[in-house]
Amino acid sequence: MQNRYEEAARKAAEKFLKSAKLAADRGIIPYKSENGAWIPSPYDGNSWWTGGFWPGLMWQFYAATKNEAYLTEARRTEKLLTGEFRVFKYLNHDVGFMYLLSCGADYKLTGDEQAKWDTLHAANLLQGRFSPAGYIRAWNGDNQKGFAIIDCMMNLSLLFWASRQTGDPRFEKAARIHADTTLREFLRPDGSVSHIIEFDPETGKRVREHGGQGYCLGSQWSRGQAWGLYGFTLAALNTEESRYLEAAQKIAANFISHIRPDGLTDCDFCQPDTEERLDNIAGAVAACGLLELNKITGKDEYHIAALRLVDGLLDHCCDWSDTRCGLLTHCTASYHDDGAGRHTNITYGDYFLVEALAKLNGTDPMLWR
């Protein structure tokens, strides 16, 4: 008999096999679902940072089932993503998210040579954003030359991967310098992390913190906390440095102390009590990080906390209906609505829930390494 996580993964694979056809018929990379249809990113076309999550989902299902239909759909969107190399102007530090889960996953699971070169191409783009002043530049705005953000801890995996592939230490050195800057400037004494820190692009000195996607300046945007948790865990996996593992554990302790009794995750851990604003993506990302942290440390508390999060999502916020495309409900891209909507379905929520289920079921191909 299947346990609830195996059952959920099986149902998710079935649901996405059907809804993948809807995405393919429209020729898009799904960003979110609305009224029974997939819709593409309303921002920056296929260069938007979320483009890798759809092929990542397909590769997760392919790894679990070996059904070639997922591979075909992953490759359809991989082609759209590699087309963005030519456009270039919108790409930013999130090439890690975008290409590790698409071309990187393809190479990992099939050995496809071109997919490897495309992943290395992306790694070189990320390396090109490294400032010798000590950080990786996040975004492209003229007034954002010194901006670095906590989310980038996830993108560093692409650089660690590139050094392992090529034997060239440059990529890993840049990743370590950025991780050390993040450790020094983003991690707060209570185990929470800032979202955006601006540095002087000439000297690398800290200029100021910006509020970002959370409730307010100095608050705790939960998805940022989850990026820090999983990102430092990945840095520890990639380097075996105890300082990154300690940071991950500190961030995990703070995150765990904020898991709601129903297992769901507030959008910001400092939001007013009167506000019911959830971001289930944060819970799904944190569950993935906690399951990896459990593997590294052997500490049960991380496994137990991950199960609380996954159970909360399965109990309250999964849409198994055939009439709607996406799976995870109550996802919120940004506390102060950025237009993506509040309490909606967004494909990166689906991706991380499926990754967490795969980890619990022993089918996760670990696409971040």
* Contact partners, residue 103, CB within 8 Å, separation at least 6: 78, 81, 82, 115, 116, 118, 119, 122
Per-residue binder mask for ligand GLY (CB under 6 A), 99-138, x = binder: ----------------------------------------
* Contact partners, residue 51, CB within 8 Å, separation at least 6: 29, 41, 77, 80, 81, 84, 98, 102
Q: How far is CA 117 from CA 98, 102, 120, 332, in A?
A: 15, 12, 5, 34
Interface with ligand GLY, residue 308, by CB under 6 A: no
> Within positions 188 to 217, which residues make up the interface with ligand GLY, using CB under 6 A?
213
Q: Which is nearer to ligand GLY, 15 or 212 (CB)?
A: 212
Interface with ligand GLY, residue 279, by CB under 6 A: no
Q: Which residue is nearest to ligand GLY (CB)?
A: 151
Residue ranges with strand state E in the chain: 32-34, 37-39, 130-131, 135-136, 147-149, 196-199, 206-210, 345-346
**Is 94 marked active-site?**
yes
Minimum CB–partner distance for residue 333 and ligand GLY (Å): 6
Please calculate the CA angle 52-58-63 and round it to the nearest 5 degrees: 120
Contact yes or no for 59/109 (Cβ under 8 A)? yes
Which residue, among 155, 140, 139, has the nearest Cα to 101 in the 3D structure? 155
Minimum CB–partner distance for residue 314 and ligand GLY (Å): 22
**Is 151 marked active-site?**
yes
Q: Which is nearer to ligand GLY, 48 or 70 (CB)?
A: 48
> Within positions 329 to 348, which residues make up the interface with ligand GLY, using CB under 6 A?
333
Q: Which is nearer to ligand GLY, 75 or 223 (CB)?
A: 223
The DSSP output letter for 169 is T
Q: Which is nearer to ligand GLY, 41 or 163 (CB)?
A: 41
| Among the listed residues 5, 16, 31, 49, the single contact to ligand GLY using CB under 6 A | 49
Residue 44 identity (one-letter amino acid): D
Interface with ligand GLY, residue 151, by CB under 6 A: yes
Q: Which is nearer to ligand GLY, 52 or 312 (CB)?
A: 52
Q: What are phi and psi of 272, to 5 degrees?
A: -60, 145
Minimum CB–partner distance for residue 339 and ligand GLY (Å): 12
Q: Which is nearer to ligand GLY, 104 or 231 (CB)?
A: 231
Minimum CB–partner distance for residue 141 and ligand GLY (Å): 15
CB count in 10 Å sphere of residue 334: 17
Minimum CB–partner distance for residue 342 and ligand GLY (Å): 14
Catalytic position from the list 106, 118, 151, 350: 151
| Among the listed residues 15, 32, 75, 223, the single contact to ligand GLY using CB under 6 A | 223
Token pair listed for 168: 């060239």
Q: What are phi and psi of 208, to 5 degrees?
A: -170, 165
Give the H or E element holding residue 308.
helix 300-316
Minimum CB–partner distance for residue 213 and ligand GLY (Å): 6
Give the residue numbers marked as catalytic: 94, 151
Q: Using CB under 6 A, list all residues that contact ligand GLY.
A: 49, 151, 213, 223, 333
